[in-house]
Each structure stands twice: as structure tokens, then as C-alpha cells.
Structure 1
Amino acid sequence: MSVHARHQLGRPAFSLIEVVIAVIVLAIAVPPTLNLMDSAAAGRADAINTTRATILATCVLETVTADINSDAAGLGFDALADDDAYLNTPTTGLIDRLDPIVEPYTSVGFSYTVTIGPLVSSDGTVSATVSENIFRVITVSVGYTSATSDPYLLPVSTMVSAL
């Protein structure tokens, strides 16, 4: 046997106890690390879904704002007085007109509702002076499920007027 071969045989290796200790340390350290990574991933997913919900709400509000400024029949600020007709009239109602735009969101579990408030004054309350009640508050509420299966509801409101 050569000197080099004898030297390799005398080299210390990991003992069984060292290997067992390493496995135990990994078994203790890995699960909490995976939980942290899962929690971080859920947080990122929720942030992305909140951004998507904001985009959906903005899209709906922008369409309502465009309708208020439209001269087309059935649109304009006065159309908001009959919210059911404005929202739900087949083919011309807001919900039907938005279908192609919101489909990418609704197909992945997002939902939305539009609420049209009564005429109010500039401070958001109904004034005793009827001529001051020239605004409406439009609220779009977007619902979705979080990465942890909790329901989220994101309401976004704006105040509009015929002015």
C-alpha cells in the first residue's frame, strides 16, 4: 500500500452521531423556515390582489365618470337618479357594458358592486337646502378571497356632480 493510500484511510470521516445531530438540527430548523416563506408568499399574493382590486374599482369608477359626462341617451348625471335602470338595464346598463372589461377579474374570483348614493351637499350629507344637494357619492366595493382564505372587501368611493 502506498503512503498516499494509507494517508487517505487514516483521514477522519463524519461519525454516525455527527450525522444524526445534523439531521436533527435540519429537522428542527426547516419547518419554521418553510412557515415563514409561506407567510411571506401569502403576504405578496394579498398585496397583488389588493392592487388588482384597486384597478378593478378604478376601472368601474372611470366608466361611471365617463357616463356622467356623456351626452348619449340614458347616460349623464341624471341617469344616476334611477340606479337600478342605470346599473341593470339589459345590454345598456353599466353591469352589462362592463362585462368584457371586468371578466379577467371575475374569472379569478373577484366580484364588485356599485352603490349610488342620494343627492348630497358638498360635505357628503343631505342638506336642508335642496339646492345644495347636487352631488352623489358612488362607491364600488370589490370583494376577493385572500391567500389565507379570508374574505376581503375593498370599497372605493368618489363624489360626482353634473357640474
Structure 2
Amino acid sequence: MSPRHGQLRRGFSLVEAIIVVLVLAISIPPTVVWLGDAGARRADAVNAVRASTLSTAVMETILADASSTAPGLGFGAFANSAAYLDTPMTGLRARIASITGLFESMGFAYTVTFSALVDSAGVVNADPGLNLFRKVTVSVTYAAAGGTNPISISVEAFVTQL
């Protein structure tokens, strides 16, 4: 069949095809960049939750140890933080390795610091009888998804002898 006289077959012209290609070439790269940025922000949010979970797990273990009567534990153990943290088999790191190992395999690292004995305001008091607390800080560090500076989350608590 041939088209009737006066009706033309109409398709895309070369100019229209070029315009479509140009519009796609201009719009797709920014969209891809935007999706990449959104993915990085999502990964950072997930990692922040993971870091919070790790810091909470470490802090909860320390708080439990503060009231423990087991040898090598208890509030007095915090006076020698190196022994409390790093003693093979009984130190904090060894005891919670099954918890922290997964996080460490994902690039998370944690540090624990203990202050000197302080009073309830968090400062060393001239009266040693008022210095009954230790400030415990657990910091978790991980790399940002965008490859920028590392991110650190810290949890602090005052611990006292029961």
C-alpha cells in the first residue's frame, strides 16, 4: 500500500535525533553524580549507626566490669588501664573480640581512655575524698564513604565504685 496523496510519512529528522542525544548527554552525568552522592550519604548514615552500636557495646561491657567482683575487674582495675584493656585472654579487648571483630573487619577502630579520679563535676578536686569517679571515653573511628577525613564518634560516662 502506498500512502494517500497529501499524507506524508513522518519520522524523526536528523535535527530531532541530535537534540535528543544532546539532552541525554547533558542530563545523565549530573544524575549519575547525584546518585553517587546520595549513596555515599546513605553509607555514612549506616556507618554512623554501626559506630554507635560498637561504642555502646564497648561502654556497656566497661560499665558491667566496673561493678564486677571477678579478679582483674571492678572499679580498681581502671587505675591500670593498659592491663585492663590489653592483658591476653582476660583484658577487655580479648574478652570482646567476638563482638568487635566484625566491626574491625569493616574498618572501624575503637579506643578507650580512662581519666584520673575526679569529683562529680568531672575535675580533680583538692580533697582526695571527693575524687570518686573516673570519666570513661570510648571513641570509634571509621572512614567516610566519600573517602574524606575519618569520622569519630565518642561516648562518655562517669563510673564510680559501688
Q: TM-score normalised by the shorter chain: which range applies?
A: over 0.9
CA deviation digits over 1:71-106, x for unaligned, max 9? 111111111111111111110000111111111100
2:51 is equivalent to residue 53 of structure 1: yes
Percent identical: 47
**Match in the other structure for 1:73:** 71
TM-aligned CA deviation for residue 148 of structure 1: 1.0
Which portions of structure 1, spanning 4 or more consecutive aligned residues, are displaced by more than 4 angstroms? none
1:120 alignment partner, SS class: coil
State the distance in 2 between where 1:57 and 1:103 align.
13
Structure 1: give runs of 5+ residues left out of the alignment. none
CA deviation digits over 1:104-131, x for unaligned, max 9? 1001111111111111111111111111
State the distance in 1 between where 2:47 and 2:60 align.
20
Structure 2: give runs of 5+ residues left out of the alignment. none
2:36 is equivalent to residue 38 of structure 1: yes
The one-letter code matched in structure 1 to 2:123 is T
Residue in structure 2 matching 1:124, options 113, 122, 125: 122
Residue in structure 2 matching 1:24, options 4, 22, 25: 22
TM-score scaled by structure 1?
0.93
**Match in the other structure for 1:6:** 3
The one-letter code matched in structure 1 to 2:53 is I
**Match in the other structure for 2:158:** 159
The one-letter code matched in structure 2 to 1:98 is I
2:95 is equivalent to residue 83 of structure 1: no
The one-letter code matched in structure 2 to 1:162 is Q
State the distance in 2 between where 1:65 and 1:132 align.
21
